[in-house]
Structure 1
Amino acid sequence: WKGTCNRVHRRREVKAKEKNMLAGWRKAIPIGGWSSAEAKACASTLEGAAQAGLVRAQGYIHGEWKDATDGATLSVDNPATGETVQQVAKMGARETVEAIASASDAFKTWKKRTAHERAAVLWRWHDLIHENREHLAAILTSENGKPISEARAEIRSGMGSITWSAEEAKRVRGDVLEPPMRNRRNVVLKQPVGVVGAITPWNFPMSMVTRKVAPALAVGCTVVLKPSELTPLSALALAELANRAGMPPGVLNVVMGDAPAIGRTILKSPDVKKIAFTGSTAVGKMLMAGAAETVKKVSLELGGNAPLLVFDDADLEKAAAAAATSAFRNAGQTCICAARILVQEGVYDKFVELLAHHANSTRLGNGMDSSVTTGPLITPAAIQRVDEHVADAVAKGAKVVVGGKKRDGIGNFYHPTVLSEVSLDTRVHMEETFGPLAPVFKFKDEEEAIRIANDTPYGLAAYFFTSDLARGWRVAEALDYGMVGLNEVGFTHESIPFGGVKESGLGREGSSYGLDDFLEIKFVCMGLGYEKR
């Protein structure tokens, strides 16, 4: 009876908090103050998500929603409108220590569950995400800005990571080794590494969470998740659904806010055994150096600056459409977007013409409008970086074919841009732009194309288009990249080993290889006693 009363009391407390949160959320988003019809539609859909209890304002530690210890908050803004979507708790070192302790304690029991038992929890999480997918898409678009169609696709991708990991963890295999002596038996076990510090980016605020969290939980690890402070609402909504799915307290914890303080705490803690990070190469290097202090396992998915090569025997219509899709997806804010387009000189002019047509066919706007194909950049600083790269290229001889400027009015919008006659001494060749910019370079032959494509410290993804099968094999093997697409740019899926080489990272996410990053290998030698002679 006492337990029943306590559960009823807790439910009443949760309902009261949700009611207060919804009232605060409505106050934070003055629908009447927005001039855009799409913005009003976005707010209306978000209100539905809030009423469903999915627009959270607190961090999630040990199965409970918590404010920052000092009461600090930060604003989550819609990059399409400039309006505040939500005020959320701004957490730091103290809350992170609490989250790590909770995850460490939960690991003791979670790792003992069978893979089938853990999979059952993950499947319930997946089903709740599916049921609430429209609410989640509205949350994602409101804080990130991407078109609602891309948000829905991201959620589908995230769900795929959950189900793949849940089932693949059932097939984790050890080994039996032939012993050197008759009275011994040698076996190899795979065991969960422990508490994982997962740090996710703003450009894919849902799929990057499940891509890290799902395999970790599936094999028996527990997680302290730090989403980007620019887009924490998606991660918090996923945590709410994980809670409803029956995920035990401490198995998944979410802290957001003071990124340096949270990061340092995760790195210094001896209880955190692994770092899983997606973000910039610069931050990845700092995390790698910090992880060395306690010798943590590290998996890093970092910068890209991907080349896309078009040979003179390629299907130009297909290549141009694919290049535009890749370059302008999520307003160019993806680590595997076609950031350097290399075209053989014999078909260069025709390709530029086709690419310009696709760029001119895009529609900028609020992502909640289903006709919009390109949303905003995440911050004004992102616009400034694109502007700087365009100005640098033009100063060195490039021509603006399409776009080349920020859109007037509210929101962080930049017109999809195509540059021709781009030289190799430009910043856009040497640095990752992370914006809707498609610079087109010229090459003479296969050897030069490969040399230019590999002339970068990055090595995440590369693409090329040709109708020559022999060339296909040669170029695929010659490109120094972790992933290569031949006549294809849309290969991302939970079944592939996603990751790069060189300064684009370490380890792989997805596929059976991705689970290995969350496992330790243990060798066990069993002595059977001495044989009688």
Structure 2
Amino acid sequence: MTQSNDAAYNVPQQYIDGIWREGTATTATRIVNPATEAVLGELSHASSSDLDEAILAAKAGFALWRKVTPYERGRLIERAVALMLERREHIARLITLEQGKPLVQACAEVTVAADMIKWYGEQARRIYGRIVPSQFAGAQIFVQKEPVGPCALFSPWNMPVLLAGRKLGGALAAGCSCVIKPAEETPAGVAAMVACFVEAGVPAGVINLVFGQPADVSSRLLASPVIRKVSFTGSVAVGKLLARQGADNLKQVTLELGGHAPVIVMGDADIDSAVAQTAAAKFRNAGQVCLSPTRFFVESSVYEQFVDAFGKYASQLRVGNGLDPETQMGPLASDRRLLGVQSLVDDAVQQGSTIVSGGTRIGDRGFFYAPTVLCDVPASARATCEEAFGPIALITPVADVDEAISAANASELGLASYAFTDSAAAQARLASEIEAGVLAINNIAVSVAEAPFGGVKDSGYGYESGEEGLEGYLHTKTIHRQA
């Protein structure tokens, strides 16, 4: 591995057919610590021949792995999870160095990833078939579940270990092999997780790890008849491109794309609880989470109380290097994100929005941005329709639940939504009428191992986690047998 200028960081290598090795392409990605702007190292990319070797390795690995009993698959996954938890602090430090989030949040990411992978490992033994009574005498109908085949797994930079691990756990539990392509900005945490599976005894070829530009890697993988399933978490634009490529090659595709989560707060809600929960969620990972609450629609009777409390919370957050134990919010992940967030805030202010808190970059080194609260944001502002993916909260008053639901649904994205109300009638309406894949009422827990997570509208289709997530890596075979 290539040594970086941080003693705790080594630029990772690819893992193909049981061998750790450098990519052989002529291109590379410079990995930058977003808190210091120091270069951690150069990540070599996979060449076309590297990708072809990974595909062939996954083909051979699938032939082997699908024959491993579900109980043994589960045991190997359990061993890998134990190693992940043993190495949690090390993996978390890699995440913080590459991506910037506070170390405590990076540790939590590894823990949640391990929990999701463990759940999948336990579910491997619960992949059931069934017997269907036949209309013909002496005939039997068997329905069984089988692994879909080698998978291409694409994970993003914002939650690198969690989102790669969620995909990897489902694929392995189902009996699939895979080629994992993590974000080139944050490869080391994913490589460290893969190493846990390797050391746990997962055979060569079952897991393959490659790095490179998304377009180059995806076009090569999706063109191959070997790859039967694609799972992608990332932007809407890239998701639509992969959907087209998948359709051209008849791949099964799961897409978890952008979010612009609304939060509805009614006058009968516990305002202190609503502020505490949603503000913590809003500024976690500097708002760089697809399910981050962003568009707040607050009933007029409690609007000023909510704005004051939310703004106070934001203004008191300690922003700094994620390795500092006092830090509550780290930097944005890149200069591109910093410019994007500032552009959204500037546009909103130019159109009449009021800055309650933040609204500016912090310092001149590192990609730090102040936790920002805006009110009176017009519908024409870009921030109301574009995913902010940053520490920006938009708070708007509404007259009643009808206006709140209409405003919440006025987005092309529909991933997560949140609501706070004690009214059973309002809760029932929200559950029925909110256009989202996931809705949390009086809490913010929307992504757990045991329940499906996915979006509607431009937020994608298919599911991660839960039984539905596991089903995405299986196909159904029906067997008609005559005695």
Asked if TM exceeds 0.5, the reply is yes
Corresponding residue for residue 370 of structure 1 = 325
* Offset of residue 505 of structure 1: 1.1
Corresponding residue for residue 379 of structure 2 = 424
* Offset of residue 66 of structure 1: 1.5
Q: How does 1:145-184 map to 2 (within 5 A)?
A: 145-184=100-139
Q: Distance in 1 between matches of 2:209 and 2:71?
A: 25
* Offset of residue 323 of structure 1: 2.1
Q: How does 1:39-118 map to 2 (within 5 A)?
A: 43=6, 46=8, 55-70=10-25, 72-118=27-73
For the pair 1:291 / 2:242, whether they are aligned, the reply is no
Q: Distance in 2 between matches of 1:163 and 1:396?
A: 48
Q: 2:199 aligns with which of 244, 247, 264?
A: 244
For the pair 1:507 / 2:426, whether they are aligned, the reply is no
Amino acid at match of 2:472: D
Corresponding residue for residue 278 of structure 2 = 323
For the pair 1:337 / 2:292, whether they are aligned, the reply is yes
Q: 1:438 aligns with which of 380, 388, 393?
A: 393
* Offset of residue 276 of structure 1: 0.4
Q: How does 1:391-406 map to 2 (within 5 A)?
A: 391-406=346-361
Q: Distance in 2 between matches of 1:258 and 1:383?
A: 21
Q: Distance in 1 between matches of 2:47 and 2:215?
A: 8
Q: Distance in 2 between matches of 1:136 and 1:109?
A: 29
Corresponding residue for residue 453 of structure 2 = 498
Corresponding residue for residue 487 of structure 1 = 442
The question of whether the paired residues in 2 share the 8 Å contact of 1:459 and 1:481 is answered with yes
Structure 2: give runs of 5+ residues left out of the alignment.
none
The question of whether the paired residues in 2 share the 8 Å contact of 1:129 and 1:241 is answered with yes
For the pair 1:467 / 2:422, whether they are aligned, the reply is yes
TM-score by length of 1: 0.89
| 3-state DSSP of counterpart to 2:458 | helix
Deviations 1:157-191, CA, capped at 9 Å, x for gaps: 11011110011111011111110111210110100
Q: What fraction of aligned residue pairs are identical, expressed as a percent?
A: 37
Amino acid at match of 1:336: L
Amino acid at match of 1:346: S
Deviations 1:70-127, CA, capped at 9 Å, x for gaps: 4653321111111122322221322111101100011111101110111111111111
Over aligned residues, Cα RMSD in angstroms?
1.2
Structure 1: give runs of 5+ residues left out of the alignment.
1-20, 30-42, 529-533
Deviations 1:375-396, CA, capped at 9 Å, x for gaps: 1111111111111111111112
Corresponding residue for residue 222 of structure 1 = 177
Q: Distance in 1 between matches of 2:25 and 2:298?
A: 56
Amino acid at match of 2:60: D
Deviations 1:226-263, CA, capped at 9 Å, x for gaps: 00011011111112222111110000000002221111
**Kindly tell me: are residues 526 and 501 of structure 1, through their superposed partners in 2, closer, same or farther at Cα, counting changes over 3 Å?**
same
* Offset of residue 497 of structure 1: 0.6
Q: 1:187 aligns with which of 132, 142, 154?
A: 142
The question of whether the paired residues in 1 share the 8 Å contact of 2:254 and 2:463 is answered with yes
| 3-state DSSP of counterpart to 2:42 | strand
* Offset of residue 57 of structure 1: 2.7
Corresponding residue for residue 302 of structure 2 = 347
The question of whether the paired residues in 2 share the 8 Å contact of 1:500 and 1:506 is answered with yes
For the pair 1:411 / 2:332, whether they are aligned, the reply is no
Q: Distance in 2 between matches of 1:259 and 1:231?
A: 13
* Higher normalized helix content (fraction of residues): 1
Matched residues, number:
483
Corresponding residue for residue 161 of structure 2 = 206
| 3-state DSSP of counterpart to 1:292 | helix
> Which structure has the greater CA radius of gyration?
1
| 3-state DSSP of counterpart to 2:405 | helix
Q: Distance in 2 between matches of 1:184 and 1:506?
A: 37
The question of whether the paired residues in 2 share the 8 Å contact of 1:279 and 1:303 is answered with yes
| 3-state DSSP of counterpart to 1:119 | helix
Amino acid at match of 2:243: M
Q: Distance in 1 between matches of 2:348 and 2:393?
A: 12
| 3-state DSSP of counterpart to 1:435 | coil
Amino acid at match of 1:318: S
Q: Distance in 1 between matches of 2:396 and 2:49?
A: 50
Q: Distance in 2 between matches of 1:453 and 1:57?
A: 42
The question of whether the paired residues in 2 share the 8 Å contact of 1:175 and 1:187 is answered with yes
The question of whether the paired residues in 1 share the 8 Å contact of 2:282 and 2:391 is answered with yes
Corresponding residue for residue 479 of structure 2 = 524
The question of whether the paired residues in 2 share the 8 Å contact of 1:92 and 1:259 is answered with no
The question of whether the paired residues in 1 share the 8 Å contact of 2:73 and 2:124 is answered with no
Q: Distance in 2 between matches of 1:432 and 1:169?
A: 36
The question of whether the paired residues in 2 share the 8 Å contact of 1:76 and 1:86 is answered with yes
Q: Distance in 1 between matches of 2:286 and 2:392?
A: 9
* Offset of residue 56 of structure 1: 4.8
Deviations 1:327-372, CA, capped at 9 Å, x for gaps: 1110000000011011111111111000011001111111011111
Q: Distance in 2 between matches of 1:72 and 1:390?
A: 35
Q: Distance in 1 between matches of 2:81 and 2:381?
A: 45
**Kindly tell me: are residues 274 and 313 of structure 1, through their superposed partners in 2, closer, same or farther at Cα, counting changes over 3 Å?**
same
| 3-state DSSP of counterpart to 1:496 | coil
Q: Distance in 1 between matches of 2:123 and 2:334?
A: 38
For the pair 1:123 / 2:78, whether they are aligned, the reply is yes
Q: 1:273 aligns with which of 214, 225, 228?
A: 228
The question of whether the paired residues in 2 share the 8 Å contact of 1:422 and 1:440 is answered with yes
